[in-house]
A and B are shown apart, each in its own frame.
Chain A
C-alpha cells in the first residue's frame, strides 16, 4: 500500500467520522432534552401539563403547578398570525420578483432582501420595542406590548425565507407556462395570477409550513415585544411563548428541581412539534415529486380581473418589503451613528453607571471569539457532511436521510441549544461558563446553515469533471482535494462567512453559557466573554439612559453584518467559475 493510498483512506475516514459527528449531534441533543424532561412526568400527569393553565413553578406558599397550555397557545397564535402577515406580503413580493422582466432586478433584490435574514433577532426586538410597540401604545394599548406587535416583528423576520423559497417555485412554474400562455394571448399578469400561482400552490404551502417552524423557534425578538403574561393569547393582549418562558426562567430553576425538569419538558414539547413539522414536510415533498407533472386547471383563481389585482398586490408588497429593509437599517444607523467613534470601538465600557462612558471593545472581540470558535467547531463537520453526501454516499436513501437529519437540526430552536449547553456542558461536564460551552451550542446551530450551502456548491460542480478525474485514476480524496475544493472555494468561504454572521447575531444560546455582562478582552476559550447581542439586550433592559449606547451597539452589529454579506457575495461572485466555456 502506497503512502498516497494510505493517506487517502485515512482522510476518507476522517470525513466520514466528522459527518457522523454532525449527525450524532442531533440524536444527542434530542435524547438529552428528553432525558431531562421525563422526570417531570413522574410527578405531573401529561394531561395536566399540556392542558393546565396555571404556571407557578416556585412555591410561594400557594403550591406549585406546571401547566403550559397558555404558552403553547401563545406560541401557536403568534406564529400563525406572523405567517399570515408574512404570506400576504411575501407571496406578493415573490410574485413580483418571479414576474420581473430582467434578471438584473432579481440579482439585486435577492441579496437585498436576504439582508433581513442577517439582522440579529435581538435587533429586531429592539426596533420592535422602540417602533412597533410605540405605535400600539399611541393607539391606546398599555406599554404597546401585545401579540399583534410580536406577530408583526416575527413576520418581518420570516419574510426573507418565505420570499426566496416562494419565488424559486414561482420562477420554475413561470418558465414552464408563461411562454405558452402568452402565445395563446393571455397577458403576462393574468397568466401569473391564473396559471402560475395555482401551479405553484403545493410548493408554496410547503414553504409556508417550513416558515412556521422557523417562527415557532424564535426567542429573543418575540420575548421583547410580547408582554410575557401567562394568559390565553388575544390579538391585542399579552401572551407568552415557550421559548420566552424558558429564557426568562432558566436561570432561576434550581438544577434537578421540578421547575428545571418542567422547563425542559416545555422545550421538549416545542422541539417535538418542530421535528414533526420537518418530517411532514419531507414526506410531502417526496410524495409531490413522485406525483409528477399534473395538468393545471386554467382560469384557476379569478379570470381577467385577477391580472390587474395581482399586479397591484405584487407591486405593493414588493415596495413594502423594500421599505421595511431600508427603514430597519436606516433607523438604526440614523440613531446610532453619532455614538460611533474610535473610542467607542476600542475602549472597554466604563463609568460609574457602566456603559455610559467608554465603548464596547470587549464585546466586539468577544463576539468575534464566539463566532470564530463556532465556525471552526461547526463548519468543519458541516463541510465534511456535505462532502460525504455529495461524493461518498452509496444509496440515495442514505443521502435523503442525512438531509432530513440536517434539516431537523436546523429546526431546533436556539434557546433549546442554549438549554442543552447549559445543562450538559456548563454543569455536567463542568466546563463552566466559557466561550467553548457557548460556541458548541452555536456550532450546532450553524452547522446546517453551512452544510446546505456547501452541498449546493458541490452540486453545482459539473459531475463530468469529477468523473473524468476518477477515470484518470485519481482517488476520491485526491479529486476532492485538488479539484472540488479549489473550484468551490468561493462558495464555501462565502457560506462560512454567512454562517459566522448567523452565529454573530445569536443571543439565546449565550445567555447562560458563556456570555457575561462584563469581561475584559477575551484571552482564553475556557473563560467567558462579552458578546454584542447580549450587550445590546442588557442595555435595552437597563432602560432609557443607555439607549444611545444600545443604538451604537446595534449599529456596529448591523455594519459587521452588512460588511460580511458584501464580502461573502463579492468573493463568491469573483471566484465563480463558468463551466460552460
Chain B
C-alpha cells in the first residue's frame, strides 16, 4: 500500500516537473512550485521562488546558433565569461543572482538565420552578408553586430609547382577551375604536369559557399566533382594534405594551417594579395563579414555579454582564432 502511494506520488511529481519546466521556454524563468523544485532532480534554470513575480523577467540564458566560422570564437568567449562571472549579479550588481548560461550551437550560416527567425535561438551567427529577404523576416528590430572580417583565399598546396609559375590568378581562371572547365593543371598553365585538379569547397549550409558564388562565380555553377567540407578548418586541412588541391580556404584557417610551416600558398586575386590591410580596406574582393544578428529586443543581460564580446578579451580571441577583428576594443 505504501509502495503504491510512493509510486503514484512520484509519477505525479514527475508530471508536475515536466509541466513546470515546459512552461518556461528557453529563457529559464519557469514558475515552479516550491515542493516540486525540492524533489526534481534537474532543477530548472530559475532558482527563484514565488516571490520572483515581483521582479521583471530576467533572461539568464542566451542562445547563439549558426556559423561554423564564428562558433569557436563565441564558444571561447562564452566559456571565459561564464568562468569569470559565475552568476549575473557579478556582472552587474543590479542583476539577480542567477547562473550565467550561454549556449552556442553550430550548424552553418543558414541554420543561424533560420534559428533567429523562428525564435529557437536568441542570436543567429552568420559568416556572410544577410539577404534582404532574411532581414525582412527578422523584422523591424533587426540588429547586426559585426565581429570580424574573413576573406576567402584561393589556396593551393605549397608543394604544387604552380607556386613557382604564378602568384596571381584572375577571376576568369578561378571560375574555370572551380566550375570544372579546367580539369587538369596543365590546362591552367602548360608548364604544369598533367594532374587532375582537386577542388575543395564548403557545403551548402556554409556562408562561404554563397559568398564565393556571388563574388567569383556569378552565374556559373561550381562543379559537382568538388569535395564538400563541413568547416573551414577541414577545408584547409584537406588542401594541406593533397598536392593537387585548390580551394577557397578562409583567411583564418589559412593562417592557422601555416602555423607550423608553410602548407598552403594563397594566390593573389586580380593582383590583390590576401592580407590584413587589403581585407580591411576592401580591395580584396572575396571577403565576408562574420557577425551575429537578431530581430528581437536586446535584454540587459544580452547587452552585458555583447559588451564583453567587443572588449579587449573579444579582440584577443578573434585574433587568436585567426580572424581580423572588425572593431577596436572599448576599454
Contacts and interface: CB of A to CB of B under 8 A. Distances in A.
B105 interface: yes
A427 interface: yes
Interface string A203-237: 00000000000000000000000011111000000
Nearest to B137: A254
A516 B234 CA distance: 19
Nearest to A134: B241
A142 B76 CA distance: 33
B82 to A, nearest CB: 6
B61 A527 contact: yes
Most chain B CB neighbours (cut-off 10 Å) among A143, A517, A522: A517
A58 B78 CA distance: 32
Given A354-B79, A432-B26, A518-B102, A528 B320 contact: no
A522 B320 contact: no
Interface stretch (B17-25, B142-150, B185-193, B270-278): B17-25
B183 interface: no
B75 A528 contact: no
A137 interface: yes
B99 interface: yes
B230 A248 contact: yes
A351 B225 contact: no
A283 to B, nearest CB: 39
B21 A525 contact: yes
B245 interface: yes
Interface stretch (A113-121, A306-314, A383-391, A541-549): A541-549
A497 interface: no
A60 B212 CA distance: 11
Interface string A324-356: 000000000000000000000000111111100
Contact of A517 (B45, B105, B245): B105
B138 interface: no
Nearest to A362: B79
A58 B233 contact: no
A519 B205 CA distance: 23
A432 B120 contact: yes
A512 B79 contact: no
A420 B145 CA distance: 33
Contacts of B99: 520, 523
Interface string A108-148: 00000000000000000000000000000100001101000
B281 interface: no
Nearest to A515: B105
A433 B245 contact: no
Interface string A356-389: 0010000000000100000000000000000000
Interface stretch (B49-57, B216-224, B290-298, B302-310): B216-224
A354 B81 CA distance: 13
B231 interface: yes
Given A526-B21, A526-B26, A543-B237, A517 B106 contact: yes
B219 A523 contact: no
A570 interface: no
Interface residues of B, number: 82
Given A252-B110, A523-B45, A142 B242 contact: yes
Contacts of B234: 540-543
Nearest to A432: B26
A255 B118 contact: yes
A348 B24 contact: no
A395 interface: no
A427 B210 CA distance: 26
A329 B144 CA distance: 47
A62 B222 CA distance: 11
B325 to A, nearest CB: 13
Contact of B28 (A62, A351, A527): A527
Interface string A544-570: 110000000000000000000000000
Interface in B104-156: 104-108, 110-111, 113-114, 117-121
Nearest to B113: A254
A432 B122 CA distance: 11
Given A143-B238, A541-B234, A248 B228 contact: yes
A39 interface: no
B79 A143 contact: no
Nearest to B43: A523
Interface residues of A, number: 64
B285 interface: no
A301 interface: no
B205 A249 contact: yes
B287 interface: no
Contact of A230 (B42, B198, B217, B224): B224
A157 interface: no
B316 A352 contact: yes
A433 B227 contact: no
A45 interface: no
B101 interface: yes
Interface in B34-71: 42-45, 61, 63, 65, 68, 71
Contacts of A526: 21-22, 24-26, 28, 30, 44-45
A143 B61 CA distance: 41
A126 to B, nearest CB: 13
B317 interface: yes
Given A518-B79, A525-B42, A526-B44, A253 B120 contact: no
Contacts of A541: 68, 230-231, 233-234
Interface string A45-64: 00000000000111011100
A538 interface: yes
A541 B24 CA distance: 34
Given A229-B228, A248-B203, A541-B234, A523 B68 contact: no
A347 to B, nearest CB: 10
A431 interface: yes
B236 A543 contact: yes
Contacts of B237: 543-544
B219 A252 contact: no
Please provide the 4 A-B residue pairs with the shortest distance between their CB atoms, ordered closest to farther: A252-B110, A251-B111, A543-B233, A252-B205
14 contacts: A3-B1, A7-B4, A143-B241, A228-B228, A254-B114, A348-B82, A350-B79, A517-B106, A520-B102, A524-B21, A526-B44, A528-B63, A543-B231, A545-B256
Given A543-B233, A544-B237, 17 more contacts: A61-B219, A142-B196, A142-B198, A251-B107, A252-B108, A350-B79, A353-B72, A353-B320, A354-B72, A515-B105, A518-B71, A518-B102, A524-B28, A524-B45, A526-B24, A527-B28, A527-B103
